[in-house]
Structure 1
Amino acid sequence: MYRILSIILAVILWMGCTEKTGKGNPVVVIETKYGQIEIELYIDRAPKTAGAFLSYVDSGFYENTSFYRVLNVNNQPSNAPKTEILQGGLWRTKNDKARSIPGIPHESTATTGIKHKDGIISVARLAPGTANAEFFICIDDQPGLDEGGENVEDKLGYAAFGKVIKGMSVVRKIYLQNDRNQYLDPPVAIYNISRK
């Protein structure tokens, strides 16, 4: 009996090496100089976007990249709707790689039901279907980024695909660093993003 319990315990510990949430969604960890940020990826609700992001994580694309852009109430035109986000990815450190990644088919907030609330992670884009490895984290609720929102000219919104579940204080600390013309000065290094 003791041997059977030992085997069962070993299997349970082995299965727990790659953390998933109660819904079976994967969790990734962003490592920065200010600490770690844990994000649950909603692969169940945004399979194309979360799946693409996870493939970039597994391919090592985010090793030695950065958080480089911040939008806050002080660095946007006074006559425009405001957005508060922290943006990161490959653009500043691996630009050629960033431009070589194909776009992800757009999954709108109306389709996924994932609204741009505090701590939600989403992909940056120009036109729908052009998003790839550049991502942003919402600071407070940002309904203007949802489908139909006032912050997106085409009204199709951005594709949200996960949420910070631990380390939002780290996100806010990075968000409050010095910026110049919406760019962090200096950028904050992302040492790596990996599965938990």
Structure 2
Amino acid sequence: MADTLTLTLETGDVVIRLRNDLAPGHVERIAGLANEGFYDGVVFHRVIPGFMAQGGCPKGTGTGGSKLPDLKAEFSAEPHVRGVCSMARTSAPNSANSQFFICFDDARFLDRQYTVWGEVTSGMEHIDALPKGEPPRSPGKIITARAA
């Protein structure tokens, strides 16, 4: 199973430690989609200062996912703090698919309600630099995403 995910953004690389110990099903999905090129060219469509940056929607709108079935929730007590990577979903707990978010700051109110699958180990400054907005006027883009 993959240990890291590297997102290459226009401003540089973001390295994420994959948390197989917390969410093996979600890590497998993220790594698999990344290595198939699913995330290449996908934008961060929702970037809220002090909260999080969300991406992973192939439509760039927050309304889409992969063709794979939604995932069963793998909630944990891992705190949603700066640099934590977690899955986006609808109000249904088992609806995560391909969309994810990276926390800018503490968002502990999300704990035990969203699946944490990774944490940024380097390059958080590139997430901080993403254009802000819902959606941003000129959104930041994932050039490539690869798991190793």
TM-score, normalization: structure 2? 0.89
| Structure 1 vs Structure 2 CA RMSD | 2.2
2:85 aligned residue: 121
Question: Residues 103-156 of structure 1: CA distance to partner in whole angstroms, max 9, x if unpaired?
Answer: 1110112xxx32211100001001111101100000111101112xxxxxxxxx
1:187 aligns with 2:139: yes
2:52 alignment partner AA: I
Question: Any conservation in 2 of the 1:64–1:93 contact (CA below 8 Å)?
Answer: no
Aligned position for 1:18: none
Query: Which structure's residues are more often helix, by fraction?
Result: 1
Q: Computing the radius of gyration over CA atoms, which structure comes out larger, 1 or 2? A: 1
Matched, 1:46 2:10: no
Deviations 1:56-95 (A, max 9, x none): 112221111111111236xxxxxxxxxx010011343498
* Residue type at the aligned position of 2:144: N
8 Å Cα contact 2:2/2:31 also seen in 1: no
| Residue from 150, 157, 160 that aligns with 2:116 | 160
| Misfit runs of 4+, over 4 Å | 93-97
CA–CA distance in 2 between the matches of 1:141 and 1:25?
Answer: 26
Distance 1:108 1:131 in 2: 11
How far apart, CA to CA, are the structure 2 residues paired with 1:43 and 1:178?
Answer: 30
SS in 1 for 2:20: coil
Judged with a 3 Å threshold, the aligned counterparts in structure 2 of structure 1 residues 144 and 44 are, in CA distance, closer, same or farther, namely same
Counterpart contact for 2:82–2:106, Cα < 8 Å = yes
Residue 13 of structure 2: which of 15, 32, 36 is its match?
Answer: 36
The runs of 5 or more residues in structure 2 that have no matched partner are: none
Aligned with 1:100: secondary structure? coil
Q: Relative contact order (alpha carbons < 8 A, sep ≥ 6): 1 or 2 greater?
A: 2
Aligned to 2:65: 98
Counterpart check, 1:108 vs 2:66:
no
User: How many pairs does the alignment contain?
Assistant: 147
How many angstroms apart in 2 are the aligned matches of 1:25 and 1:58? 10
What displacement does 1:195 show?
A: 2.3
Match of 2:107 in 1: 142
Shift of 1:46: 1.3
